A = this chain, B = another copy of it.
Amino acid sequence: MKDVVHTISTCQRINDVLSRVGDRWSMLVVYALRDGPVRFNALKRELGISQRMLSLTLRNLERDGLVTRHYFPEIPPRVEYELTPLGHSLRGPVRALTDWALAHLDHIDAARESFDAQGEPAAGA
């Protein structure tokens, strides 16, 4: 029973961190920042994320010490975001997940289609 108790608290802790960096936008941003600093609007276009969510996600990431924000008071003002060492350490796990995602997207789509097909055979109209 002790193992179970241990597992429970472990889940709580994982849950805790995942609720911070485990959302898809955060992971996508980490993924997009893998090769160095990127500008705000570049991220926005590349990820297909709304300005608001990108702004929010980046601020949370910055708060959690995963990215740094560099403001260049040029004309036009430029803002670049870059991974911190902590952020870089997350690259590996995120990479594993994105690689898996890329590799199994078709598989998931197929499973979903067959599930939906057998689940609702007379769902037409």
- Interface residues in chain A, defined as those with a beta carbon under 8 Å from any beta carbon in chain B: 4, 7-8, 10-24, 27-28, 31-32, 45-48, 62-66, 86, 89-90, 92-94, 96-102, 104-105, 107-108, 110-112, 115-116
This protein's copies in its complex? 2
Query: 10 tightest A-B contacts by CB?
Result: A65-B111, A17-B101, A18-B24, A93-B96, A22-B24, A93-B97, A96-B96, A93-B100, A63-B115, A64-B108
A54 to B99, CA, bound (A): 26
Q: Is the CB of A99 within 8 A of B93?
A: yes
Q: Is the CB of B14 within 8 A of A31?
A: yes
Q: Is the CB of A17 within 8 A of B104?
A: yes
Q: Is the CB of B112 within 8 A of A13?
A: no
A23 to B26, CA, bound (A): 11
Q: Is the CB of A116 within 8 A of B63?
A: yes
Q: Is the CB of A104 within 8 A of B86?
A: yes
